Structure 1
Amino acid sequence: MWFKQVTPFRLPELPEKRYLDESLGSSWFKKLNGFDWFSEGFTHPNAFAELAVFEAQKTMLITLKREEKMLPNAVIKNNLDEIVKKLEAREGRKIGRKEKNELREDLTSNLLTRALTKSSCTNGLLAKGWLWIDTASRHKAENLLTKLREALGGLPAQQPVARQSPASLMTNWLLQGEAQGRFVLDSDVTLVGAGDVAPKVKISRKDLTAEDVVQHAKNGMKVTELGLVWNDRVAFILTQDLTLKRIQWLDVVQEEAEGSCDDAESMAYATQLLMAAALSVILGELVDLLGGLQE
């Protein structure tokens, strides 16, 4: 599967595949019970394999699954109001706060057994000294990392912090009208100004060397997100915390994956290898341009 977003963490040492598979198996996803709000655990990354880890030449794909009940507060409130109104009319008395809270608890338990559920999965890829999580949400990324640490009994993963601010580097690239290395400017940028109520400008699908775009940076606004294309192979939005958003794996990369595949498993294998190789180089080159990582 091609990741669409990436929140990266540095991994000084990768766990062994067998140990990882066994550990995640002990934290397996369990179907929601009638009175539970949610359930969360690891599951098969691919439909064709029953293991917790899908390995492709020392790259390891894992998947955290979450299932939760869809029971909005407005639904509970409307039903509770109706129950209270009928009780007060039938018994000719005012329902107190304590009794109302008890009614709410009973109602919530009853509604939970009939509520619709929503399922979601968050994928992670361990490879080449990195853990890449397929989300741009810091909360979801930290949640997968926490569950992974709980299953393994610890994991020395750290958010990468560069010596130079990514916002500073991206702002310089916008001012200069070009990026460095194998990166080129694409057509999206977000800039933020200073102050308690900081102004924000978001520009999409436009030449980033145009004077009216660059003028925002000249006026002191800093770039917090910048569209880039790497080596004519991968397009993405780089953020100020080194997250990659809206990743597009360009045709040349997808054609390489499809070229030697004849089934779903071989396609997943090739995709994973190409994706891990590209992400490793992209983040490595970005870190170098940022002066390396802080110790």
Structure 2
Amino acid sequence: MWFKQVSFYPLNKEKLPQADTLADKLREAEFAHCQGLDWFSEGFAPPVPFSPELVFPADYTWRVALKKEEKVLPAGVIRDILDERVLRIQDEEGRSVGRKEKQELKEQITDDLLPRAFTRSGRTQAVFDTRHGYLLINNASSAKAENVLTKLREALGGLEASLPNTKQSPSSLMTSWLLQGHGEGGFELDSDCELKGVGDVVPVVKVSKQDLTADEVVQHVKNGKVVTQLGLVWREQLAFVLTQDFTLKRIQYLDVLQEEAENNGDDAASLMFASQILMTEALSTMLEELVGYLGGWQD
């Protein structure tokens, strides 16, 4: 599985556990289905469909997955049952039902229905890059990425990971590249961007599938707007949208990477092995180059 969006955290490589230790710790925090009155359950689950193991190692990369299961109990169902009970009390007892009693009835109805509720589940995958020192999480939502990191820290008893805080902000660099009409090094401008202005009502301009060097696009920067998202292509391997929060969205792995993975894998396991290494190496190498243009990490 190729990650389509990424939040990442620099890691202390010297204090990472061994792969077998990681697997043992995650086993203690393994996923279990929702029980009884639980609204949701979270835990680590196998990251690949062809193996029951909680860690899928590929050379210096380790893939893990956090699974969440939630009960689905539509508010309309609870409301309909509540209305029926309130009406029955009014008819049988000849009295009105107050707000406090309605809330108690609602809680009783919820407790009755919860064990029989439908469930939905999802997984968030992550890869430890032990060579470059990154945790790559397949989600651009800061809340969901932080949740995965928190669960890993709880399972491992600590994990030295930090937010990607560079000396120059991504927004400043993206604005500079758009103004000069090109990226630097292995980075080229793609065809999408988002710009924001300032003020009580913040103006937002979204550009899609256009030449970003066109005067009408660059003029937005000259008028004081800053770039908050920018489409980039890196060394003919990756196309993605970089955000001001230093996340990657809409990642595309160009033909050269996908073909190399297919040439190295003739079954599900070997294809996953090859693609995991190639994906991680491309993302981490690109991030290291990008961090260089951002002035390096803050002390």
Q: Shorter-chain TM-score category?
A: over 0.9
Per-residue deviation, 1:93: 0.5
RMSD over aligned CA atoms reads 1.1
Partner of 1:221: 225
Matched-pair identity in %: 56
Partner of 2:289: 285
- For 1:76 and 1:185, the matched residues in 2 are separated by 51
For structure 2, the 5+ residue unaligned runs are none
Partner of 2:187: 183
Partner of 2:240: 236
Query: 220-229 vs 29-38, which deviates more?
Result: 29-38
TM-score by length of 1: 0.97
Note closer, same or farther for the CA distance 1:197–1:78 as it changes in structure 2 (3 Å cut): farther
Q: Give matches, 1:38-77, under 5 Å.
A: 38-77=40-79
Given candidates 250, 253, 259, the residue that maps to 1:255 is 259
Query: 128-137 vs 104-113, which deviates more?
Result: 104-113
- Counterpart of 1:227 in 2: which secondary structure? strand
Per-residue deviation, 1:42: 0.1
- For 2:256 and 2:85, the matched residues in 1 are separated by 61
Partner of 2:101: 99
Per-residue deviation, 1:90: 2.3
Q: In the alignment, does 2:155 pair up with 1:141?
A: no
Partner of 2:7: 7
Q: Give matches, 1:189-204, under 5 Å.
A: 189-204=193-208
Query: 39-48 vs 106-115, which deviates more?
Result: 106-115
Aligned length: 295
Point out 4+ residue stretches in structure 1 off by more than 4 angstroms: none
For structure 1, the 5+ residue unaligned runs are none
Cα deviations by residue, 1:63-122 (Å, 9 ceiling, x for unpaired):
000000112334323331232122212221111233222211110012212322111100
Per-residue deviation, 1:60: 0.4
- For 2:137 and 2:80, the matched residues in 1 are separated by 39
- For 2:74 and 2:224, the matched residues in 1 are separated by 43
Tell me which amino acid in the other structure corresponds to 1:49: S
Cα deviations by residue, 1:135-171 (Å, 9 ceiling, x for unpaired):
0000000000000000000111001111011101100
- Counterpart of 2:283 in 1: which secondary structure? helix
- Counterpart of 2:17 in 1: which secondary structure? coil
